[in-house]
């Protein structure tokens, strides 16, 4: 699905949450990538590398001075989701550390989790957990708020 299709569905009255719900996890990652691209980030999807062990980052979004490493979670509502998100955050922090070591990038690198069902932006261990339908507004304010968001 491309952004024009999303815009068409949205114009017909469907909410973004409803549109994303119809898609599988691969399409969910593609939608997240497209939102980053619309905010002037260049994208690499499903980046795999080995740094002691094998790692994969769903979306690597790069701008002028920053890189955001995104783990996309299109989970349905289920028991234990809060614990699973905490575990996902810890794993994403490990992936980002391995990414920094492996690629030796000089830009600031930030971890992020993008979810399907969360209602509000939240933080776990200073990592933002952003609902997909709020990702665009989060990115719009990212440059002004990143230091306070990530407690740098």
3-state SS of 86-130 is HHHHHHHHHHHHHHHHHHCCCCEEEEEEEECCCCCCEEECCEEEE
Tell me the CA end-to-end span of the chain in Å, nearest whole number: 36
Closest CA to 63 of 148, 152, 140: 140
Q: Which CATH architecture has domain 3-149?
A: 3-Layer(aba) Sandwich (3.40)
Residue 124, both tokens: 């776990």
Name the band, by pLDDT with cuts 50, 70 and 90, for residue 144: confident
Is the model's pLDDT at 37 over the cut of 90?
Answer: yes
Which is higher by pLDDT, 106 or 147?
Answer: 106
- Mean predicted confidence (pLDDT) in 120-138: 89
pLDDT at 3: 58
Closest CA to 36 of 22, 15, 21, 57: 57
pLDDT tens by residue, 72-117: 997 655 555 678 889 999 999 999 999 999 999 889 999 999 987 6
The single residue listed with the structure tokens 């260049």 is 42
Closest CA to 50 of 104, 103, 105: 103
Name the band, by pLDDT with cuts 50, 70 and 90, for residue 12: confident
Residues 70-108 as b/e (b if ≥16 CB within 10 A, e otherwise) read bbbbbeeeeeebeeebeebbeebbebbebbeeeeeeeee
3-state secondary structure of 7: helix
Distance CA 24, CA 74 (A): 8
Chain mean pLDDT for the chain: 84
Name the band, by pLDDT with cuts 50, 70 and 90, for residue 27: confident
pLDDT at 10: 62
pLDDT at 152: 47
Percent pLDDT > 70 in the chain is 75
């Amino acid at each position: 699905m491309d952004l024009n299709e999303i815009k068409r569905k949205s114009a017909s009255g469907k909410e973004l949450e409803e549109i994303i719900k119809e898609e599988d996890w691969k399409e969910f990652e593609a939608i997240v990538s497209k939102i980053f691209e619309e905010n002037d980030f260049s994208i690499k999807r499903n980046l795999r590398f080995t740094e002691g062990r094998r790692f994969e980052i769903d979306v690597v979004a790069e701008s002028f001075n920053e890189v955001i490493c995104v783990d996309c979670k299109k989970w349905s509502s289920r028991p234990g989701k809060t614990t699973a998100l905490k575990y996902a955050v810890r794993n994403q922090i490990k992936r980002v550390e391995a990414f920094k070591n492996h690629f030796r990038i000089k830009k600031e690198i930030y971890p992020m989790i993008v979810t399907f069902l969360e209602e509000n932006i939240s933080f776990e261990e200073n990592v933002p957990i952003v609902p997909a339908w709020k990702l665009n507004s989060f990115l719009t304010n990212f440059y002004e708020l990143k230091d306070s968001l990530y407690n740098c």
